[in-house]
A and B are shown apart, each in its own frame.
Chain A
Amino acid sequence: MKLVVGIVKPFKLDDVKTAVQDFGVQGMTLTEVQGFGRQRGHTEVYRGAEYTIDFVPKVKLEVLVEDDDAQRVADKIVEAARTGKIGDGKVWILPVEGLIRIRTGEAGSDAL
Chain B
Amino acid sequence: MSDAVDAALVEAFGELDATDNVALVTLGSYARRELCPGSDVDVILVHNLKGRRSVDTVRAMTERLWYPLWDAGFVTGHGARTIKESIALADDDIDALTALLDVRVIAGARELGAELERKARELAQRRRNRVLKVLVDASDHRRSRPGAIAEMLEADLKEGGGGLRDVQSFEWGGWALGAPGGSSTLIERGLLTAPDLARVEAGRELLLDIRVALQRVTTSHSDRLALQEQDAVAEQLGFASADALVHDLASAAREIAWIAGDVWSRARELVDGTDSKSAPADQAVAEGVWVRSGRVHIDTRADGSIPALRTLEAACAAAENDVPFDRTSLTRLRGTDEPSWDVWQRAGFVRLLRSGARAVPVFEALDHEGVLARLLPEWEHVRSRPQRNAYHRYTVDRHLLEAVAQCARLLDSGEEHIAPGREPTVEMVVARACRRPELLLLGALLHDIAKGMPGDHSEVGEQTAERIVRRMGFESEAREVLPWLVRNHLLMAEVATRRDLSDASVADNVAAACSGDAERLRLLYLLTIGDSKATGPAAWSPSKGALLRDLFVKAATAIERGEAKAVAADRREAMHEALGEARASAFLARLPEQYVQAFDVDTMRMHEELLRDSPTVRCERVDGGHVVITVVADDRPGLLGTLAGALTVCGLDVLEASLFGTTDGFALDVFRGADPFGRVADDDGARVTQTIERALAGDIDLAVRVDERRRAYAPITKPSPPEVRVEVNTEESETDTVVEVHTDDDVGLLYRLASAFTELDLDVRIAKVATLGKRVVDVFYVRDSADHKFDDPDDIARLRATLVDRMTG
Contact = CB atoms under 8 A, between A and B. Distances in A.
Q: Are A and B associated in one complex?
A: yes
Contacts of B498: 10-11, 13-14
A10 to B, nearest CB: 5
Given A47-B429, A47-B433, A49-B429, A57 B546 contact: yes
Contacts of A50: 423
A32 B544 contact: yes
Interface in A56-102: 56-58, 83, 85
Contacts of A48: 423-424, 429
A106 interface: no
Interface string A7-38: 00111111000000000000000001110000
A71 B547 CA distance: 31
B497 A11 contact: yes
A58 to B, nearest CB: 8
B654 interface: no
Contacts of A57: 542-544, 546-547
Contact of B425 (A9, A13, A51, A85): A51
Interface residues of A, number: 23
A26 B546 CA distance: 31
A56 B545 CA distance: 11
A32 B501 contact: no
Given A9-B500, A11-B498, A34 B426 contact: no
A53 interface: yes
Interface residues of B, number: 24
Nearest to A15: B498
Contacts of B500: 9, 11-12, 83
Contact of B497 (A10, A33, A46, A47): A10
B542 A34 contact: yes
Given A34-B542, A34-B543, A57-B544, A49 B426 contact: yes
Contact of B426 (A11, A33, A46): A46
Nearest to B427: A49
Most buried by B among A48, A56, A57, A83: A57
Contacts of A14: 498
Given A14-B498, A85-B502, A49 B543 contact: no
Nearest to B495: A11
A44 B553 contact: yes
A57 to B, nearest CB: 4
Nearest to B543: A57
Contacts of A33: 543
B768 to A, nearest CB: 14
Interface in B118-144: none
B614 interface: no
Given A57-B542, A83-B500, 19 more contacts: A10-B498, A10-B547, A13-B497, A14-B498, A32-B541, A33-B543, A34-B542, A43-B727, A46-B553, A46-B556, A47-B429, A47-B433, A48-B423, A49-B423, A49-B426, A51-B426, A53-B546, A83-B502, A85-B502
**A-B pairs with lowest CB-CB distance, top 9:** A57-B543, A49-B429, A32-B543, A49-B426, A46-B553, A50-B423, A11-B498, A49-B424, A47-B429
